[in-house]
Amino acid sequence: MNVEIISIGDELLIGQVINTNASWMATELNLSGFNVIKITTISDEKRSIINSIDDAFKKADIVLMTGGLGPTNDDITKYTLCDYFNSNLIFNQKSYDNIVRLFGSRGFPITELNRKQAEVPDNCKVIINNNGTAPGMWFDRGEKVLISMPGVPFEMKPMMTEYIIPELTKNNTSKIVHKTILTTGTGESFLADLIKDWEAALPQHIKLAYLPHPGVVRLRLSAYGFDKTILEEEIETHVHKLNKLIPDLIFGFNDDTLQSVIGKLLKDKNKTLATAESCTGGYIAHLITSVPGSSEYYKGSVISYSNEVKKDILKVSEETLNNYGAVSEQCVIEMAKGVIALLKTDYAIAISGIAGPDGGSDEKPVGTTWVAIANGTEVSTKKFLLGNERSRNIERASIAALNQLRKVL
Amino acid sequence: MNVEIISIGDELLIGQVINTNASWMATELNLSGFNVIKITTISDEKRSIINSIDDAFKKADIVLMTGGLGPTNDDITKYTLCDYFNSNLIFNQKSYDNIVRLFGSRGFPITELNRKQAEVPDNCKVIINNNGTAPGMWFDRGEKVLISMPGVPFEMKPMMTEYIIPELTKNNTSKIVHKTILTTGTGESFLADLIKDWEAALPQHIKLAYLPHPGVVRLRLSAYGFDKTILEEEIETHVHKLNKLIPDLIFGFNDDTLQSVIGKLLKDKNKTLATAESCTGGYIAHLITSVPGSSEYYKGSVISYSNEVKKDILKVSEETLNNYGAVSEQCVIEMAKGVIALLKTDYAIAISGIAGPDGGSDEKPVGTTWVAIANGTEVSTKKFLLGNERSRNIERASIAALNQLRKVL
């Protein structure tokens, strides 16, 4: 089934807001087996809305619209749809009750403008908005469908996942099963080369997509068929084969992150972690502490952005700094040992590098980064040569360091 | 002049990539006085491309396309445009020289596919791509214009800012001057209320836009006219009045960030900074060190994610932790004093709070956050009550802490 998404809003056309709604919707629709053929972004203007609907109905079976449903005068989607589908506005008690519930919980009075939000065209199905005052509207037009939703992501998303997608797929006997495999440690093209025979052996009804991010490549397998259980088994078989092929590169599945996987490993082993960061300046700590409950295993960090802090607090020796410099294997070993002793943890990550844009030399160009992973008795190290761009270097160095710890764990 | 943007790429329609190109282009065009009337996203498919161009030319004076210019078979934009404009492909020496230059610098051999990228339709102006192998193409059609660019942001953006926008505005006598005022410390609606008289007094040709972000509201003033110098003076007059009205809320202008403003203040005063973070888990350090050259004034941080680290390293007293808890005014005062002594800096930020989702109580709900700013002799503190959502709390608490330091400086 072909879908067109129409995003309405002047804020999208002046670049003030990035259209993340459309890509979120496209992802969800794609995962449920719909084919998004076009995304159109237009202004809050009657003629534009009508022209876009006419165009969309020429090719699409389903038209999904967001935006223009607010209470103020510049929001005209509802009135335009009312005209387009030759309807009259009627008061909808359920929508009004919903507004009363939302406002009551915040102690706000209900104005005439809010009351008008409970009016809907008389020939649409009303979709209750649990997180806002504007209801969604579902219009049938022969075999085709147009659905209008608010543009606020927090209101639109539950409408899509809880009602619209389930309704649209109700009579659909075909099934799709997805699994995402998370890899780190090599780039997209090298990974593709490593797994090309496995990929070529996938059956026709199982598709592979590469989803690259800085430092992480996600592989999404999608199996199409009619029996969910069989599809799930098939996916597991192929994942199992892939796991045998590149065991070192796979760190998790679906919604896992490197930091959540490390958190789980540390919790399971009942071990604690500290970090000593130089070039990443707290970003590793930020990733680790972005996981709820991380205080169970993460004790803290010393961010040593100056040599003095490396010496005075982490006890890196003067000789090391003079002879090898702050970006050296010797220095990260001493940083790791220093922070493990200071914070009394089982494991430590230490990192030092040149994030850029300045500070590079011929011997140590911008992007040179050393990582050490220590436990009570041993230290392992690794050198990375990253790129020229400061913010990407910080991100990639942090991912590389977390992955080193994961391997040790 | 009306512009339509056409973004070409299957990766946009399956939601794999968010269309940040279109919103970046919309912002730049808007700032230069163009009116973006529509953004259309379509697949790499000949019929879709042709239909979209036909539609676009009905309303737009300028059509800007991105995507589909790669060397592989799925990239068909150039061949489609060649057909559409009844042209023949010819070899372009300048584009080829550019490919040779790019590949030579990386030591790669030039394949037949790369050579084909130097072929262009014989009736377009060629736009050299300094950062990639696919040239841009400029087609005139009577008074109207269609320009095709690569979809890689890193290649498209310099083409837009260095060539396309200057060329399109060449004959334009009307001028626009913008200035963005950065505020923090209050929400959008409260701010709007505080400045409503100032806003109402703006002349017709000066427009105000609110651009809200977590913790920061940006106000963009745009003045439209024919004399740049006069417009700049007018903007400065209104900014000056606003500065008198809300001096505490304004922290910078245009591309400033809180961390860059603080960096500049510290550098000017020749002072150094340390941080002691609990709930923000390194995010403040990350923001500070995201500024190139921050090692000149930032010495480091102790991230004390456990009470032991607060006690052992930052020297927070056992009594304070027992009597008031880790999230208390007393605790952040001792953390700030502890880190300033330990890292021997002029200033310190200390922060402790409950980021959530767990750990809240009736007395201290999730979102309760204490900040202390210390210099050698004094400590000032402030309490914030933030929301329920962990990642937003970390972001907002970090912004609030940086703003406290800015006020002290």
Average pLDDT over residues A172-188: 86
Residue A286 has pLDDT above 90, yes or no: yes
Q: How many CB atoms lie within 10 A of CB B356?
A: 22
Residue B331 vs residue A393, higher pLDDT? B331
Q: Are residues B15 and B164 in the same domain?
A: yes
**What is the C-alpha radius of gyration for chain B, rounded to an integer number of angstroms?**
27
Q: How many CB atoms lie within 10 A of CB A113?
A: 12
Q: Strand B273-277 relative to strand B298-304: parallel, antiparallel, unpaired?
A: parallel
- The residue assigned the tokens 């070529």 is A200
**Best mutation site among A66, A306, A310, A313 for testing chain B: the one with the most B CBs within 10 Å?**
A306
User: Measured between alpha carbons, how far is A281 from A337 in angstroms, rounded to an integer?
Assistant: 19
Interface of A with B in 365-394 (CB under 8 A): 390-391, 394
**What is the C-alpha radius of gyration for chain A, rounded to an integer number of angstroms?**
27
Interface of B with A in 202-231 (CB under 8 A): 209, 211
State pLDDT tens for residues A226-284.
898 999 999 999 999 999 999 999 999 988 999 999 999 999 999 999 999 999 999 99
Give the highest mean pLDDT range of A27-36, B6-15, B306-315: B306-315
Q: How would you classify residue B360: left for phi > 0, otherwise alpha for psi between -120 and 50, otherwise beta?
A: beta
Contact A16 B211 (CB under 8 A): yes
Peptide bond into B357 cis (omega under 30): yes
**Best mutation site among B301, B310, B351 for testing chain A: the one with the most A CBs within 10 Å?**
B301
User: Measured between alpha carbons, how far is B110 from B98 in angstroms, rounded to an integer?
Assistant: 12
Residue A287 has pLDDT above 80, yes or no: yes
Contact A42 B43 (CB under 8 A): no
State pLDDT tens for residues B203-216.
999 988 887 777 88
Could you report how far apart the first and last alpha carbons of chain A are, in Å? Answer: 46
**Best mutation site among B2, B161, B220, B303 for testing chain A: the one with the most A CBs within 10 Å?**
B303
Contact B158, B233 (CB under 8 A): no
What tokens were used for B185?
């410390």
Q: Are residues A93 and A149 in the same domain?
A: yes
Contact B310, B293 (CB under 8 A): no
Residue A54 pLDDT level (bands cut at 50, 70, 90): very high
What CATH number did the domain enclosing A28 receive? 3.40.980.10
What is the percentage of chain B residues whose pLDDT exceeds 90? Answer: 73
Interface of B with A in 106-125 (CB under 8 A): none
Q: Are residues B53 and B134 in the same domain?
A: yes
Distance from CA of A188 to the nearest CA of B (A): 15
User: Measured between alpha carbons, how far is B211 from B181 in angstroms, rounded to an integer?
Assistant: 10
Minimum CA–CA partner of A44 in chain B: B37
Nearest to A305 among B18, B39, B289 (CB): B289
Residue B337 pLDDT level (bands cut at 50, 70, 90): very high
Interface of B with A in 122-151 (CB under 8 A): none
Q: Are residues B81 and B191 in the same domain?
A: no
Q: Are residues A352 and A371 in the same domain?
A: yes
Q: Any idea what DSSP says for residue A109?
A: P
pLDDT the model gives residue A101: 87
Q: Are residues B290 and B268 in the same domain?
A: yes
Q: Are residues A65 and A19 in the same domain?
A: yes
What tokens were used for A206?
């199982």
Minimum CA–CA partner of A275 in chain B: B303
Contact A42 B41 (CB under 8 A): no
> How many residues are listed for chain A in this entry?
409
Contact A251, A258 (CB under 8 A): yes
Distance from CA of B96 to the nearest CA of A (A): 25
Residue B49 pLDDT level (bands cut at 50, 70, 90): very high
Question: DSSP letter string over B232-265?
Answer: HHHHHHHHHHHHHHSTTTEEEETT--HHHHHHHH
Peptide bond into A357 cis (omega under 30): yes
Cβ-in-10-Å burial (0-12, 13-18, 19+) of B171 comes to exposed
What tokens were used for B278?
């609990």
pLDDT the model gives residue A109: 76
Contact A44, A74 (CB under 8 A): yes
Residue A134 pLDDT level (bands cut at 50, 70, 90): very high
User: Measured between alpha carbons, how far is B329 from A195 in angstroms, rounded to an integer?
Assistant: 56
DSSP 3-state of B338? helix
Q: How many CB atoms lie within 10 A of CB B187?
A: 11
Q: Are residues A289 and A303 in the same domain?
A: yes
Residue A34 has pLDDT above 70, yes or no: yes
Average pLDDT over residues B9-24: 90
User: Measured between alpha carbons, how far is B145 from B124 in angstroms, rounded to an integer?
Assistant: 10
Contacts of A37 (CB under 8 A, 6+ apart): A2, A3, A4, A59, A60, B13, B42, B43, B48
How many Cα atoms sit within 13 Å of A106 on the Cβ side? 11
Average pLDDT over residues A17-24: 92
pTM, to two decimals: 0.81
Q: Strand A206-213 relative to strand A144-149: parallel, antiparallel, unpaired?
A: unpaired
State pLDDT tens for residues A341-361.
999 999 999 999 999 888 889
The residue out of A121, A140, A169 marking a domain boundary is A169
Residue A375 has pLDDT above 90, yes or no: yes
Residue A213 has pLDDT above 70, yes or no: yes
Distance from CA of A342 to the nearest CA of B (A): 8
Residue ranges with strand state E in A131-272: 136-141, 144-149, 175-184, 206-213, 216-225, 250-253
How many Cα atoms sit within 13 Å of A371 on the Cβ side? 26
Contact A304 B300 (CB under 8 A): yes
Among positive and negative, which fits the CA dihedral B179, B182, B183, B187?
A: positive
pLDDT the model gives residue B391: 87
**Strand partners for A176:** A224
- The residue assigned the tokens 């999404």 is A220
State pLDDT tens for residues A97-130.
998 888 776 666 777 878 889 999 999 999 999 8
pLDDT the model gives residue B118: 93
User: Measured between alpha carbons, how far is A78 from A81 in angstroms, rounded to an integer?
Assistant: 5
What CATH number did the domain enclosing B334 receive? 3.90.950.20
User: Measured between alpha carbons, how far is B214 from A80 in angstroms, rounded to an integer?
Assistant: 33
CA angle B154–B155–B156, rounded 5-degree value:
100
Contact A24 B16 (CB under 8 A): no
CA angle B228–B233–B234, rounded 5-degree value:
100
What is the percentage of chain A residues whose pLDDT exceeds 90? Answer: 73
Residue B402 has pLDDT above 90, yes or no: yes
- Distance of alpha carbon B281 from the chain centroid: 23
Residue A389 vs residue B245, higher pLDDT? B245
Question: DSSP letter string over B22-73?
Answer: HHHHHHHHHHTT-EEEEEEEE-S-HHHHHHHHHHHHHH-SEEEEE---SSST
DSSP 3-state of A164? helix
User: Measured between alpha carbons, how far is B381 from B372 in angstroms, rounded to an integer?
Assistant: 4
Q: Does A356 touch chain B (CB under 8 A)?
A: yes
Nearest to A15 among B15, B26, B312 (CB): B26
pLDDT the model gives residue B333: 97
Interface of A with B in 4-63 (CB under 8 A): 12-20, 22-30, 36-43, 48, 55
What tokens were used for B311?
């006690």
Contact B22 A41 (CB under 8 A): yes
Distance from CA of A209 to the nearest CA of B (A): 9
User: Measured between alpha carbons, how far is A43 from B167 in angstroms, rounded to an integer?
Assistant: 26
A-chain CB neighbours of B314 within 8 Å are none
ipTM computed for the complex = 0.80
Q: Does A90 touch chain B (CB under 8 A)?
A: no
Contacts of A142 (CB under 8 A, 6+ apart): none
State pLDDT tens for residues A330-344.
999 999 999 999 999
Q: Which range of residues forms the domain containing residue A7?
A: 2-169
Minimum CA–CA partner of B272 in chain A: A306
What is the percentage of chain B residues whose pLDDT exceeds 70? Answer: 99
Q: Are residues B246 and B286 in the same domain?
A: no
User: Measured between alpha carbons, how far is B69 from B334 in angstroms, rounded to an integer?
Assistant: 59
**Best mutation site among A131, A257, A303, A390 for testing chain B: the one with the most B CBs within 10 Å?**
A303
Residue A11 has pLDDT above 80, yes or no: yes
The residue out of A189, A221, A253 marking a domain boundary is A253
Q: Are residues B61 and B18 in the same domain?
A: yes
Q: Are residues B229 and B248 in the same domain?
A: yes
The residue out of B151, B169, B187 marking a domain boundary is B169
Q: Does B304 touch chain A (CB under 8 A)?
A: yes
User: Measured between alpha carbons, how far is B179 from B195 in angstroms, rounded to an integer?
Assistant: 17
Nearest to A42 among B38, B211, B301 (CB): B38
Q: Are residues A160 and A19 in the same domain?
A: yes
Residue ranges with strand state E in A278-330: 298-304
φ and ψ at residue A187, rounded to 5 degrees: -80, 170
What CATH number did the domain enclosing B198 receive? 3.30.70.2860
What tokens were used for A239?
């994942």
User: Measured between alpha carbons, how far is B281 from B265 in angstroms, rounded to an integer?
Assistant: 24
- Give chain A's domain count: 3
Residue B107 has pLDDT above 70, yes or no: no
* Alpha helices (H) in A73-187, listed in sequence order: 77-84, 93-106, 112-117, 153-159, 165-169
